[in-house]
Structure 1
Amino acid sequence: MVSDTLKAVMQKEGVVAIVAQGKAFPHVVNTWHSYVSVGNDSFIVPVGGMHGMEEALNHDNRVLVTVGSKEVEGLHGMGTGFLLSGHAKMISDGEEYALMKKNYPWARAIMNITILNAIQTV
């Protein structure tokens, strides 16, 4: 699911926007590309605060994620971005969390985002 182009984008620094449906309104958080661990079909994100996001995910675990970089060749020249959709959950124990906590001592949890669809937008 995670293409080579998406992996190249994630190797450049940039903003990751994560959107979930809150009870009354969409909830958005941001993090940095360099914080995200990229798997074959998932992103693992260290979580410091994000209490509102956790509440939103408890209501509805679907997420939209956007990432991009002007330094990676896109569909029409330099610069590309992606819209990802999937499901997310917060995890605050276990091996995966412990590994992330070593790198980010401030992490109170990790957000595991399972990517179901990835669309290159530019």
Structure 2
Amino acid sequence: MIPNKLMEILKIEPDGVVAIATLGKEGQHLVNTWNGYIAISSDERLFIPVGHMHKTEANIALNPHVLITLGSRKVDGMHGSGSGTGFLIRGKATFIRSGPDFDSMRERFRWLRAILAVTIDSATQTL
């Protein structure tokens, strides 16, 4: 289950930065996107539109594990009002290139070539 605080971040802070880390033959790789681009599927996977992310895709083909961080200064965290909050998400990722989920995301993001679909193993509040 996706924590309510994480859902609040995605709604309130669309311009917040998301970092996605993968591990491949050449080591770690990090790519960014925006909070506002993330959609939640009916089975609570994160759907992230993919324009480029070629290195991310190659790494996931070898190792599906991802780490994702995101946050917002506008959402109260663990340390009181106004301090902001953030999450570390651990999960497994796949790429979706066709089908109804792809078509639905493509209506919103005409530039996407795939969806990075992340099944969440854990979502830990860090702030």
In 2, Cα distance between the equivalents of 1:6 and 1:41?
A: 12
- 1:3-22 matches, within 5 Å, as 3-11=3-11, 12-13=13-14, 14-22=16-24
1:41–1:116 CA contact under 8 A, matched in 2: no
Alpha-carbon RMSD across the aligned residues, in angstroms, is 1.0
Deviation digits for residues 81-106 of structure 1 (CA, Å, limit 9, x no counterpart): 00000000111011100110111110
Specify every segment of 5 or more residues in structure 1 that has no aligned partner in the other structure, as ranges: none
* Partner in structure 2 of residue 104 of structure 1: 109
> Quick one: distance in 1 between partners of 2:54 and 2:34?
18
> What is the aligned partner in structure 1 of residue 63 from structure 2?
60
Q: Which is richer in strand?
A: 1
Structure 2 distance, partners of 1:38, 1:16, is 15
The offset of 1:27, in angstroms, is: 1.1
What TM-score comes out, normalization by structure 2 length?
0.92
Identity %: 40
Report how many residues are paired: 122
Counterpart pick for 1:121 among 117, 120, 126: 126
Structure 1 Cα separation of the partners of residues 34 and 108 of structure 2: 14
Report runs of 4+ in structure 1 exceeding 3 Å deviation: none
1:16-95 superposed matches below 5 A: 16-39=18-41, 41-77=44-80, 78=82, 79-95=84-100
Letter in 2 for 1:84: I
TM-score of the superposed pair, with normalisation by structure 1: 0.96
Alignment gaps of 5+ in structure 2: none
1:31-60: CA deviation from partner (whole Å, max 9, x where unpaired): 101110024632101100001100000010
Provide the C-alpha distance between the structure 1 equivalents of 2:72 and 2:9, rounded to a whole number of angstroms. 6
